[in-house]
Amino acid sequence: MQITHIEHIGIAVKNLEESVKYYEKILGLKCYAIEEIKDQKVKTAFFQVGETKIELLEASSSDSPVGKFIDKKGEGLHHIAFSVPDVNSSLKEVEEKGIRLVDKVSRKGAESLDIGFLHPKFTGGVLTEFCSKN
Ligand code: CMX
């Protein structure tokens, strides 16, 4: 496994617009992109913090994984995403080590990255994502 850095930290929010205000007006960060990812049923807002991004996530439909998460646990840290050179080989590597995958093969995420999720029940309760630029 060759993780190069934390690509982003995903934070589930009820209202994207309201949450963006906190990051901009209180923390002084700048939202550089808002993007809806239809496949994941989320609307996202991005902030760059050094090499890492903060990704705010608002559910765009009631059956969205983020909506389910907020219903159960409330707003807060949702997932951590590690940058790797090749998502599919990293997914294969951890699966061979006994980790259950959410995604057997990569799919397209925000900013056109290749992404794949590991199941939180096999990662110490932290939903974990691999990302690569392809
Ligand atoms: N962090 C930690 N635990 C989580 C979790 C999260 N983000 N999301 C769900 N869980 C836990 C639940 O609390 C539940 O635990 P218990 O069994 O102890 O109650 C368990 O995982 C199963 O959760 P569920 O609500 O029954 O939901 P599902 O099994 O239907 O789905 C999961 C869980 C992880 C497979 C699903 O949320 C998923 O596919 N996530 C990956 C996709 C995603 O989150 N996309 C949004 C981000 C988009 C992006 O960044 O690009």
Average pLDDT score over residue span 87-100: 97
Q: Looking at ligand 1, which residue's alpha carbon is closest to its atom 26?
A: 68
Q: What is the CATH number of domain 5-132?
A: 3.10.180.10
The total of other beta-carbon atoms located within 10 Å of residue 114's CB is: 18
pLDDT band at 134 (very low <50, low <70, confident <90, very high): confident
pLDDT tens track for 120-132: 999 999 999 999 9
The total of other beta-carbon atoms located within 10 Å of residue 117's CB is: 21
| CB distance 63 to 113 below 8 Å | no
Q: CA-CA distance, 16 to 85, in Å (whole number)?
A: 30
pLDDT at 30 over 80: yes
Average pLDDT score over residue span 55-81: 95
CB of 65 shorter than 6 A to ligand 1: yes
pLDDT at 6 over 90: yes
CB of 78 shorter than 6 A to ligand 1: yes
| CB distance 106 to 114 below 8 Å | yes
Average pLDDT score over residue span 86-103: 97
- Residues present in the chain in total: 134
The residue ranges of every structural domain in the chain are 5-132
Q: Is 114 helix (H, G, I), strand (E, B) or coil?
A: strand
What is the model's pTM? Answer: 0.95
Average pLDDT score over residue span 4-19: 97
Q: CA-CA distance, 118 to 111, in Å (whole number)?
A: 20
Average pLDDT score over residue span 38-44: 92
Predicted pLDDT of residue 1: 82
Q: Looking at ligand 1, which residue's alpha carbon is closest to its atom 25?
A: 68
Pocket test for ligand 1, best of 37, 43, 46, 69 (most atoms within 8 A of CB): 69
For 125, which DSSP code?
A: T
CA of 25 to the centre of ligand 1 (A): 30
pLDDT at 104 over 90: yes
CB of 43 shorter than 6 A to ligand 1: no
